[in-house]
């Protein structure tokens, strides 16, 4: 599915640990990662970039923030660039995204659609961790 939307290289995290292979990456964008920044750095080229957005909290009360802070503090002391990503929504950006979808240049991948009355079922499905795209609630 990921190849069908344009990915050149795909790692199936259920079958392969990308941090233990010989493959090196120029960029790792860890959106909801379960690997530590240290693990990810091993998979980067010497001048590669690691961007962290979130991740598992392991029960810590500050959530994934500690891993992001560690990466930002470490960044000046390593050859790799470590940074963070935070989405900032704006009316203009949403308008551009709307136009890209309407023109067919961007196609959202929708796994399942649920009516509003079945929100608990939709959440259960998401929590199973097997969604292959977005889960949509229709109103």
pLDDT in tens, 7-28: 888 888 778 888 888 889 999 8
Query: What is the per-residue pLDDT across 23-46, written as a single tens digit (0 to 9) for each?
Result: 899 998 887 667 777 888 889 999
Q: Among 110, 103, 139, 106, which Cα is nearest to 125's?
A: 110
SS3 state of residue 47: strand
| C-alpha torsion 50→54→59→63, nearest 10 | 110
pTM of the model: 0.61
Structure tokens at 124: 């259960």
User: Which residues, in sequence order, are CB contacts of 106 under 8 Å at separation 6+?
Assistant: 97, 100
């Amino acid at each position: 599915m990921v190849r069908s939307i344009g990915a050149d290289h795909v790692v199936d995290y259920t079958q392969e640990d990308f941090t233990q292979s010989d493959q090196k990456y120029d960029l790792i964008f860890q959106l909801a990662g379960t690997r530590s920044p240290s693990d990810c750095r091993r998979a980067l080229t010497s001048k590669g970039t690691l961007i962290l957005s979130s991740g598992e909290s392991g029960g810590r009360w500050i959530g994934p923030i500690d891993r992001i802070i560690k990466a930002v503090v470490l960044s000046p002391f390593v050859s790799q660039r470590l940074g963070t990503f935070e989405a900032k929504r704006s009316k203009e950006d949403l308008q551009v995204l709307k136009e890209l979808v309407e023109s067919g240049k961007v196609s959202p991948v929708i796994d399942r659609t649920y009516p509003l009355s079945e929100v608990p079922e939709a959440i259960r499905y998401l929590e199973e961790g097997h969604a292959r795209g977005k889960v949509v609630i229709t109103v």
